[in-house]
Amino acid sequence: MNADIKVRLASESDAEELSRLNQAFNGGDKRPPQQIMESLKINNELIAVAEIRGRLVGFGCAQSFHSFCYEEPQGEITELYVEEAARRRGIAGAIISCLEDNLRKSGVKSVKLLTGKRNDAAIKTYEHCNYVRDDELLLTKKIGD
């Protein structure tokens, strides 16, 4: 990976750039930076960012959770996005590594993630980072407005 590329955990000062990147990734209404700053303060979500010469070009999110069903906390990578112009430089893998390192520090020994079954580029990236496909099936249901 290029020395100009840095991957680190996000801080409140990244809120404006995270808002921009999230809109590019998820579309819809742009999240107000103030809401992102509040989320960074109170949420147990890990957010890793990648920057090139001080400009954010990607982010990833992960969470850990405890359940009586498992002895150790479980981890999940929930989001991963790198701007088109910054892809194919190892940035996604570096974001994943940063998230895994921080999950490991909180006692997580197993991480899962979900991606679209036709998202070949993402699948290739995850497999390159030693994630293995399984036969689980995701079912969803909206229960709110």
Single pTM value for the model: 0.90
Q: Is residue 138 assigned to a domain?
A: no
Q: Is residue 143 assigned to a domain?
A: no
**Total number of domains in the chain:** 1
pLDDT per residue as tens digits for the range 22-77: 999 999 888 999 999 888 887 778 999 999 999 999 999 999 999 899 888 999 99
Residue 97's CATH number: 3.40.630.30
Q: Is residue 119 assigned to a domain?
A: yes
Q: Is residue 139 assigned to a domain?
A: no
Q: Is residue 140 assigned to a domain?
A: no
pLDDT per residue as tens digits for the range 77-118: 999 999 999 999 999 999 999 999 999 999 999 999 999 889
> Would you tell me how many other CB atoms lie within 10 Å of the CB of residue 98?
20
Angle 53-93-21 from CA coordinates, rounded to 5°: 55
* Residue 82 domain boundaries: 5-128
Q: Output the six-digit token pair for 52.
A: 């090139």
